[in-house]
Amino acid sequence: MATIRAISPTELTDGNYRSIAEDVSDKVIFAAQRALLSTSNPGIKMPASSNAIEHFFTGFYKTMPAEDVRIATQTLAEKVKRTGAFTGISTRNAALFKKVDLVSTKSIAAQLSGLSPNFKTFGQEEKAGQQVLNANWPGFGTSSLRWRVTRLDCLEETGLTSHGSDHVYMQGVMIDAYGNTTKTDLADLEGGWDTKNHKDWPDRTFSIANLDYGVGWPRPCTLVVAISVSATSELMQLMDKIVAEAKEQAQKYAMETGLAIGTAIGGPIGGLIGAGIGVIVGKIVAYVIDKLWGWLKSIFTKARLFPPLTLALDVPYQGGKFGNSLTSGAFQATWTGHGGAYMATMDAVLQWGPASVLSALSMYKGGISLFKVNRENNIVGREWKVNTWTAWSGIAGGQASVDSPVTAVKYSSNKICLLVVGLDGKAWTYTTVVMAPGGQPPIHIKRPWQPILNGVFTLGTMVAGISRNAGLVDVFATGQDGHIWSAATGPQSNSDWNGWWQLGQLKVPAGSPVGATSRSKDILDIFVTGNDGLVYTNSWGAHTGNVWTDWFYFNNHKFIPGIAITAVSRKENQLDLFGIDADGLPCAASWSPATGWQGWTVIPGATFTPGSTVSVANQSPEHLDIFAVGIDGRIWTAAYGPQTNGKWAGWWPVGDKVFPVGSSVAATSVQPGALNLFIDDKDGNTWSAAYGGMGWTWYGNW
């Protein structure tokens, strides 16, 4: 069973990130010294900006006994006078830090940013298209990791409170898989604490981490947690600031070097895909706290402080467990300081909401095949045939993360190729044969699941697929290195898989979904959102000499890095693209030989959660219907075609049923004038809506 663990500073073995940790440590410790000396030396100015880290140290010092602060200030002043330099600063930065002007009202961070590129802040980089991932997007998220404190033991009371018994509080800063932070509420662990007593809580929640945004598993969740014997938030405000410093520098380095992990921070649905930078930030924070507390102990020789602990826990995949349980193993965190010691027993509990990405495909007039990963991580399918649905049934034992898309590709008149990344990270394929009424049974197994060569991807990655000619399937996926990779099967290879081939040098967030379509026989077009928020495209076919072109973008409109761009070809040599941009606006672009690229243009009348997926169904070559879940949880639709005079019209709600914000809709058209939608509700049940020209009708809960 997985358990919570304490992150050690020694875990930061990567030399580049260790250098970042050194820089952050030096900046933090230098700010701590400036704030401390300013309490007795009016010649040392404090920054004008109230958000400067120096002010957070000032607040922290106010929580300590005045005599301890006075002695520490005197000790530090004597050391600086004797050595001519501040203490605790690494050799590599010592000369640089001597250039900082302590009389200036500029913060240390602002001055260092102008003195060295190593300290240039992320905010000043002005990288277009980058958005902060919002961990608490309103109305979004039903899956969570709940940190609990189940017991507290007083190993030895501190005696700091006047009445003789301690009153203990706990507070923390959560770091998600993407490096974003959320301060926890102050937890009152009650009073009356004396040596050797303890208290148990059967189910006491300390903090809750949202697991529903972003894509990519396993996903590390980190918690910086501290206790105190007074109800103060200054320590956590300081810790929050330190975490922000670590996050900022780690992101900056990742962006500058083009790393696949942490290259972009996006919105709550697209986001940083790959789920990696959070653990790096956690390790940097552990390193910085260890060095900072070492410095504090060298200065505050009369005070023994409770040092914060950095804890981590890996969530395996959507719908997964810790062994056979949704509850992790227990962890005992011990704090020693102020002449006392406390031990807290902590664990974490998973709660999974719906996350299935449904895939719908019409193989013949009036028929629908539907696929998804259910809440038990089983890949399942069902079929609408002869006016009735078959039951959901497992497909040859296949399993995947619940949020893994199951791509369905029609590559002949009766064959479907299913594509998915399994729990082992491999790309897997499965072939079914679907017959029209009067033929063979609805779903006939041709052969078991097979891995597509040796490709390994981040769990939750979409494997896009398209058939450019009968019997041919081309697949695309973003690798763990951030490159786009392709493989193919068909008569040219005796139906064996060939690949994987890297398509150019473009790097995007690891696991980013690739939009793929074929606008004409033996022509392929693919699309992906880059680290800079631009939508890039690549093409293959006779028009390119049967080689892939260089990646390019046709418009500088910004989307959240890593989000899905939906691509369709409703008629020969016509491309239509759809996406929700960084402002939550639905956008469209199109291409034809006569017009070239047009767009991006906003389809007015609605706003969505940034990064939401747009689903498309085309009833005829001239008719498009698009769908997305709105910020109110209802499905909204817009249409384009002769009936709207060749312009976009809408948006209209598809009834009043409400679904989790961020859910994706599967849309298909079984015949002209007919539309079918499929979506899972908050309980994981599938609902469908049908349109036949006279309005929408909802069916479900199945």
pLDDT in tens, 410-458: 998 888 999 999 999 999 999 987 766 655 554 444 568 999 999 899 8
Q: What is the largest CA-CA distance in the chain?
A: 95
- Per DSSP, what are the bridge partners of residue 470? none
pLDDT of residue 442: 47
The reported pLDDT for the residue numbered 483 is: 92
Helix locations, 443-518, DSSP H: none
Q: Enter the DSSP assignment of 633.
A: S
Q: Which pLDDT score is estimated for 263?
A: 33
pLDDT score, position 30: 93
Distance separating alpha carbons of residues 379 and 381, to the nearest angstrom: 7
The DSSP line for 440-452 is: S-SEEEEEEEEEE
Q: Provide the pLDDT for residue 304.
A: 60
- pLDDT at residue 121 in the model: 60
**9: which 2 tokens?**
């500073």
Q: What is the dihedral of CA 597, 603, 607, 608, to 10 degrees?
A: -50
pLDDT under 70: residue ranges of the chain: 1, 120-141, 159-164, 178, 213-215, 231-232, 254-276, 302-304, 435-447, 701
| Mean pLDDT for the chain overall | 85
Are the C-beta atoms of 342 and 169 separated by less than 8 Å?
no
- End-to-end CA gap in the chain: 33
Distance CA 667, CA 676 (A): 6
Q: Global pTM?
A: 0.85
Residue 440: Cβ within 10 Å count: 11
What does the pLDDT read at residue 417?
94
Q: How far apart are CA 304 and CA 34, in angstroms?
A: 21
Q: Which of 504, 508, 521 is nearest to 467 (CA)?
A: 521
What is the spatial distance between Cα 226 and Cα 336, in angstroms, rounded to a whole number? 11
Q: Could you report the per-residue pLDDT of 206-221, keeping only the tens digit for each?
A: 988 888 766 678 888 8
Quote the pLDDT of residue 232. 66
Q: pLDDT value at position 547?
A: 95
538 contacts: CB under 8 Å, gap ≥ 6: 484, 503, 504, 506, 525, 526, 548, 549, 550, 551, 552
Is residue 374 within 8 Å of 326, Cβ to Cβ? no
- 603-634: pLDDT as tens digits: 999 999 887 899 999 888 889 999 999 989 99
Q: How far is Cα 272 from Cα 543, in angstroms, rounded to an integer?
A: 34
Residues 14-64 pLDDT 10s? 888 889 899 999 999 999 999 999 988 888 889 988 888 999 899 888 888
Positive or negative: CA dihedral 606, 611, 612, 614? positive
- Tell me the sheet residues that pair with 314: 220
- Ordered by where they begin, the domains of the chain are 5-351 (2.60.40.150)
Residue among 43, 30, 37, 40 nearest 104 (CA) = 43
What pLDDT, on the 0 to 100 scale, is given for residue 491? 87
* Cis-peptide, bond into residue 449, ω within 30° of zero: no
Note the pLDDT of residue 599.
87
